[in-house]
Structure 1
């Protein structure tokens, strides 16, 4: 079989340089394509150019037989389809055998979110008497105030904050930047953390990142998730939490209180408004529940 790894290398460079994808996304593409190359070996397909539509359908069938979730299968097929699309652009192949492969229809699952009363319990449960507690409160406040992703939160530097104007410079997916305002509660929590908690946690460390762990080194996305798990335990709430729920809550609460969809799209950093429209389903559900609970003839 031809050296598909050379084609993969070119594709990865394209994802890095032209698409500005994150390393996590690029690693995912690389894994899916290497798995597909193993399938080519098993089927004795000697060349990328000789992959047919029937081969693509057979690969899809194999994924179903392995009982992958529909969302996972869609991601795998989309990765390979993008690879062939790139190869066509570079005149390496004549056709894209995955172009007409039907992806499994995904169930529309509404995002989990907190009601405002639940979030208040979470805020009240944080012990701000310790440096770590001051950090945790600042984490919770800034994610809820801005709706940023966990990876974006982990990447915040001190220079990204304008505490006077209460505005945060967020570096999002594909290195796209956006400015997001935040309110007085987040501003106060961040100020207290920077002045007291962060200095104690930093020790002899010296780096520009806002959020740090107990050793003073930059807090990772995994570290943030662990902190949120601990918050739920301390709050006594019988609920599974992930930081993205705070982002979902940010969007849902804004829309519930009358914010327009375009503004929420810009704040979230969504490239397509269809991603933001998911939250309108949540607000409709909220309206329906409120109506049924309070209307005398519901």
Structure 2
């Protein structure tokens, strides 16, 4: 039984049953292809893999410096894959059943202060069409907390400028409405009328933020654009594609937003994913207490 064929069938099932995003599907595919290659070197294959081999593979990854988060994701992939094979009666048993999940130390996401966000958002030169586009993308990202993949994949029909909201299809095909706020809404209206028409190549393109070629921008391209503006504005922090999303959530919590509201805005299916931001609020309260309490 060909490993690649099994992987393809599994990925197809993910799309049909769970509606997982292309990025998630790609991550699953990558994990399984790496495992398949390693098993091949051990004279084995995916549908014949034993628990001991999978444990050895995970240990080898850790020895090479893989973080616990990476190993946990790999194990999640393997579990989902072998449950699919078992359900389809392609393997006699699930070799991942008695493999324990590695303990993942949940750290606070990298974020920016409000003044750093202001500096970043003010950095693009709006006299340049491309930088004007980037400025609006940064404004919308910080105002809405969208995932970068959701931002670059945004199409005109998802915008409701009259109501000031954007309709987003998130992970697992779950739809949510996210308000934009006055600053982002005004910037978006100005961009759509004055700048976007100059960037669109050919008619019928509906992508809101087209690339230089008039197509949908990649996440990696936008990440490089963010890093460029961070460098120009003097921000020395490690900027990731999710930095402004984390800043959005952090600043909401710091200003008293209810965690359930933040969960809805971020599109988290489980509140436990959002609860990491309670540590942000706790740290802020402790800092304020020590600064202002007479016995702090």
Fold conserved between structures, TM > 0.5:
yes
TM-score (norm 1): 0.91
Q: CA RMSD in A?
A: 2.1
| Superposition deviation, residue 221 in structure 1 | 1.6
Tell me, in whole angstroms, the C-alpha distance in 1 between the residues paired with 2:235 and 2:95: 50
Tell me, in whole angstroms, the C-alpha distance in 2 between the residues paired with 1:213 and 1:68: 34
Tell me, in whole angstroms, the C-alpha distance in 2 between the residues paired with 1:37 and 1:150: 30
Q: Counterpart of 1:18 in 2: which secondary structure?
A: helix
| Superposition deviation, residue 46 in structure 1 | 6.9
Tell me, in whole angstroms, the C-alpha distance in 1 between the residues paired with 2:126 and 2:38: 54
Map of 2:8 onto structure 1: 9
Match runs of 1:111-150 below 5 Å: 111-150=109-148
TM-score (norm 2): 0.91
Among 271, 277, 282, the alignment partner of 1:279 is 277
Map of 1:294 onto structure 2: 292
Deviations 1:126-181 (A, max 9, x none): 33233223212211111111100000001111111111110101121233221111
Tell me, in whole angstroms, the C-alpha distance in 2 between the residues paired with 1:42 and 1:204: 49
Contact 2:164 2:185 in 1 (8 A): yes
Map of 1:90 onto structure 2: 88
Among 155, 162, 165, the alignment partner of 2:163 is 165
| Superposition deviation, residue 75 in structure 1 | 1.6
Tell me, in whole angstroms, the C-alpha distance in 2 between the residues paired with 1:132 and 1:101: 49
Moved more, 80-89 or 237-246: 237-246
Change (3 A) 1:193 1:287: same
Match runs of 1:43-192 below 5 Å: 43-45=42-44, 48=47, 50-192=48-190
| Superposition deviation, residue 290 in structure 1 | 2.4
Map of 1:23 onto structure 2: 22
How many corresponding residue pairs? 296
Consecutive unaligned residues in structure 1, runs of 5 or more: none
Deviations 1:45-98 (A, max 9, x none): 4782x5333233222222223332222222222211211111122222232111
